[in-house]
Amino acid sequence: MADARIFDFVVGELERTTSLARPAARAAVRSVVERALFDPESVSAGQMQLLIERLLPSEIRKSGVEDAERICRQLAAGLAARGLAADDPETPDEIFGRMIRR
């Protein structure tokens, strides 16, 4: 599943599990997706999994979310539990290499 449903799922879960309102949750997720040079409409579950684990904690911490690492671990687990996170051969090195070349 590589489409906007992944993005919307993550935004919804972030809103549900934190004090962030929907616009703030959406902005945080969009920020990390675009920083990694992905399109929110087509980011895959595997790509999103890496972004949740590596970039999202610091992004939501900026918005005042406490225990961001724990929340992101739970979010990543929720993505995996729904079978949404096992689709990508792309490695973290490929993703972050693309960000560095930007």
Contact 11, 26 (CB under 8 A): yes
Residue 36 has a pLDDT of 93
pTM, 2 dp: 0.79
Residue 91 has a pLDDT of 65
pLDDT in tens, 2-25: 467 899 999 999 999 999 999 999
CA distance 30 to 27: 5
pLDDT in tens, 22-74: 999 999 999 999 999 999 988 888 889 999 999 999 999 999 999 999 999 99
pLDDT in tens, 75-89: 999 888 876 655 555
Distances (CA, A) of 42 to 3, 33, 39, 46: 4, 10, 5, 12
For residue 18, what is the DSSP state? Answer: S
Contact 44, 2 (CB under 8 A): yes
The residue type found at 97 is: G
